[in-house]
Structures are given as C-alpha cells and as structure tokens.
Structure 1
Amino acid sequence: MRGCLIGRFQPFHNGHLQVVERISADVDELVIGIGSADASHTVKNPFTAGERLMMIRKTLEPYEITDYVVPIEDLNRNSVWVSHIQSMAPRFDVAYSNNPLVVRLFEEAEIEVRQTEMFNREDLKGSEIRDGIIEGEGWRECVPDAVAAVIDEIDGVSRLRQIG
C-alpha cells in the first residue's frame, strides 16, 4: 500500500520526521508531496521546492523509508486540487492529513484519509522555526541535522533575515 503526505515543509522539521516515521510503519511506500512548490523567497515560504526536496531526501537517507518526493505547485482551485496531485504523484491508496480542507477534498475524491498524531506542536511549527532562524536562536534543535546543513549550505539564515 502506498500513502501520500502533502506539506509545505518550510522547513522540514522534527515533527515532520516523526510523522513520516509513523506513516511509514503503516504503508509500504510513501509519497511526500512538497506543497506550494512554486513559492519561495518569502517569509512564509522561504525555501525553494528543490531546497525542500534536499532537506527531506538528506534527512530520510539513513532511514529505511521507501519514498517519493514530488513537488506540487499551488493551483488555487480546490475543486481540482486532488486530481492535480494525482497527476503529479505516483498512484497512492491513502492520504494523510490533519488539515480540515485537505481532508474534505480527498474525501470528496473518494480517497481514504487518515489523520496523524501531531508531535510537540507548541515548539514544532514552521512559523516559529522561521522566526527562530530570523532571530538567530532556538531553531537548530527543532530540525534534523541534515536540514540545518542544507539551510547553512544555501545561506538560508541570511535569506530569511533579509526578506523577514
């Protein structure tokens, strides 16, 4: 069975890693859709799809997780969003999401949706992590080492401080 998880992953953090590990225990393969793949260089979406793909692939490399990482551009048309994902990703049997709109859209497309446990949501929020990067404190412990290395490699701290 193949599952699908969609997220912006701005950046991919320890909560995302725990969700991926949990889902991977339920499925044979996992499709990770990088949402808002067309957005970058803003405070809400500072990293490109390619940079987020690097973050995810380098983080998952040591784990035995069979996965596909697929960039998904925004359509801003909810009625065709699921079919857009299906056209961009390998076939999947079940979708994972806690977002009420995403759950609704997959259910309307008659795709099974499973909700995932949220891990340390108070500290592991993308917006809080991005704020920490801008302020220069408390973000590295919220992301896998591989993600911090990618952020350093692309000079992401300077980027966020400049656009923030």
Structure 2
Amino acid sequence: MAKRVLMPGRFQPFHNGHYHALRSLLEEYEEVVLAVGSAQEGFTCQNPFTAGERLEMIDIFLKHEGLRGRVWLIPVPDIRMPLAWTTHVLSMAPKVEAVASGNPHVLYIYKWAGLKTIELKLHEPSRYNGSRIRSLMLEGGEWRSLVPGVIAEYIEAVDGVERVRKVCSSGVY
C-alpha cells in the first residue's frame, strides 16, 4: 500500500497556498488524497464552483504539473455532523495513514478520532485563501496571481468571475 495522506478542503478555488501544501506533503508521502468538501454546493457566494468544476480544475492542474498519478481527487458532500464527517470522508477515500490540514478544528476532530494528524504550515494565509480570492473577484481586484495559471484559465473559461459577482450580489450564501 502506498504511503498516503488525506488533505480535506473546499478548494473554492484551488490556489497557490493549496499548491504549496500539496508540494510539501508530496515530499513526505507517495500520494495525497484531496477530499473536495462541500461537494453538494455550487453557485453560492461561499461555494461558487461545483464539485465537478473543482475536480476538473484541480485535475487539469495536476496533469500540467505531472502530479496526476500521485494525487487522488474525491468529492465529499457535507453531512453537518462533525464527528460523523470524519468517518464519512474516510469511507469515501482510499486508506490513508494521516490527515493534514491547516484548520485546527479539522485536526482536532481527526486526532480525537485516533488518527495521526499533520498541521500544515499555511503559506502566506492572509494572501492565499479562498475568501480573499473570491472577494478580489467580486471587487474586480487582481486575483490571477494567487492561483496557478491553468486554474486562472479554467476560471475564466467557465466565466467564474462573473458567477462570483452574480451569486454574491444576489444574496445566495
């Protein structure tokens, strides 16, 4: 069995901070399982991209970087029960040795459940975070440099900036 780690996130969108974390995990693990959370969400201000779009944008990025064979992508819908969520995610993923996250709540729950946890050192978290990137899209700011180039191209191809503007101005959160 491959030495594998789980990294859950919403990836709304996948950004350079995610890439930095992924690269650091791939230095220690043979494979990383990216659990794309809130998979049932899309076309809302907090979750403008659908699970399918997020899987596709990340897959395009992985192919571009030559990482496709080392990263698993799994969509995971929310179940709104934090303790049950841990096993829910694990039931949808291939077997992992550890769970990595920059979110203390996620780490606490998995540690409580008895799993090995890895606290990710977030790379410039005030700069690289989905909320900030979506805010920049909404306000017409410069967001492209905060995501890998192929991700920016994908977002533009699906008219993602306009979608963020529409769903965030419509009051759909």
Q: What TM-score, normalized by structure 1, do the two folds share?
A: 0.96
1:63-89 deviations in Å (ceiling 9; x for gaps): 343010000100101121111011111
Q: 1:143 aligns with which of 123, 143, 147?
A: 147
Q: 1:12-91 alignment to 2 at 5 Å? A: 12-65=14-67, 66-91=70-95
Q: For structure 1, which segment, 96-105 or 110-119, has the greater mean C-alpha deviation from structure 2 after superposition? A: 96-105
Partner of 1:10: 12
Once the two structures are TM-superposed, the CA of residue 125 in structure 1 deviates from its matched residue by 1.5
CA RMSD of aligned residues (A): 1.1
Q: Structure 1 CA distance, aligned partners of 2:150 and 2:65?
A: 13
Distance 1:99 1:118 in 2: 10
Segments of structure 2 that go 5 or more residues without pairing to the other structure are 169-173
Partners of 1:63 and 1:151 lie apart in 2 by 18
**1:127 is aligned to 2:131:** yes
Deviations 1:29-73 (A, max 9, x none): 110000111111111110001111112111121334301000010
The percentage of aligned residue pairs carrying the same residue is: 36
Moved over 6 A (4+): none
Q: Which amino acid aligns with 1:35?
A: G
Structure 1 segments unaligned to the other structure (5+ residues): none
Q: 1:104, 1:12 → 2: CA distance?
A: 23
- 2:117 matched residue in structure 1: 113
Which amino acid in 2 is paired with 1:39? E
Equivalent residue pairs, number: 164
Higher mean C-alpha deviation, range 9-18 or range 99-108: 99-108
Matched with 2:171 is none
